[in-house]
A and B are shown apart, each in its own frame.
Chain A
């Protein structure tokens, strides 16, 4: 299994540009999450989804949008890139109903710089 695949791995944007970070998982997981990790800091939740067609805001949703049209895909959209969005972005997924034995599967991250 490929697990959670994120593309691109690196990207440099100019202020005001837009882009979509792609995330795909092949494990048929219900739950998917987008986190951002600022340098030397922990991960903060941007958006999450509990299934196709259902999304909700996390701790830091401003400046981002998501959609979940299929179980596999959970793209993150930046409409007007700002320097404050320079960060490493992680997509993660997990299956429902595993209790404490659950495991959160992470992608390898996207390093985004906004200049």
Chain B
């Protein structure tokens, strides 16, 4: 079964600095999608960035970028120029394409604190 592991329960970063959140996953499939979701204290789930496994190019969305290492099954999130509004819980998620059910498998989450 596919699993997603986030080994950093908590991280902190100084405002305006860069932080990297780690994520590893286990799968025997070759074609899948990976996502990072943000959950602020409001509990709302916000899509941050997504990556197709067959694309070697790392996805970027403004200050957010990923380092996708398919062979290592690693999918880290880099947040540049951190802002106070980035403080939240971040979830890595894997979506396997088998059967097209669209199920997402989530990691345990990393709580990010941004210090002013």
Residues of A within 8 A of B (CB): 31, 33, 35, 40-45, 48, 50, 56, 58, 88, 90, 92, 94, 96, 99-100, 102-104, 106, 108-109
Closest Cβ of chain A to B27, distance in Å, is 15
Closest Cβ of chain B to A95, distance in Å, is 9
Question: A31-B101, A50-B101, A100-B33 are contacts. A43–B106 as well, Cβ < 8 Å?
Answer: yes
**Which of chain B's residues have a CB closer than 8 A to the CB of A56?**
101
Check if A45 sits within 8 Å of B45, measured CB to CB.
no
Give complex CA distance A44, B93 in Å.
11
**Which of chain B's residues have a CB closer than 8 A to the CB of A44?**
106
Closest Cβ of chain B to A56, distance in Å, is 7
Q: A35-B106, A42-B107, A43-B104 are in contact. List 8 more A-B contacts (CB 8 A).
A: A31-B101, A42-B106, A48-B102, A92-B45, A99-B52, A102-B102, A104-B102, A106-B44
**Which of chain A's residues have a CB closer than 8 A to the CB of B43?**
88, 108-109
Closest Cβ of chain B to A12, distance in Å, is 18
Question: A48-B101, A48-B103 are contacts. A42–B45 as well, Cβ < 8 Å?
Answer: no
**Which of chain A's residues have a CB closer than 8 A to the CB of B74?**
none
Q: Mark B8-42, 1 if CB is under 8 A from A, else 0.
A: 01000000000000000000000001000000001
Check if B45 sits within 8 Å of A106, measured CB to CB.
yes
Check if B108 sits within 8 Å of A90, measured CB to CB.
no
**Which of chain B's residues have a CB closer than 8 A to the CB of A48?**
101-103
Q: Which of A41, A88, A99 contacts B109 (CB 8 A)?
A: A41
Give complex CA distance A25, B4 in Å.
28
Give complex CA distance A100, B6 in Å.
22
Give complex CA distance A90, B91 in Å.
14
Which of chain B's residues 39-72 have a Cβ closer than 8 Å to chain A? 42-45, 47, 50-52
B100 part of interface (Cβ distance < 8 Å): yes
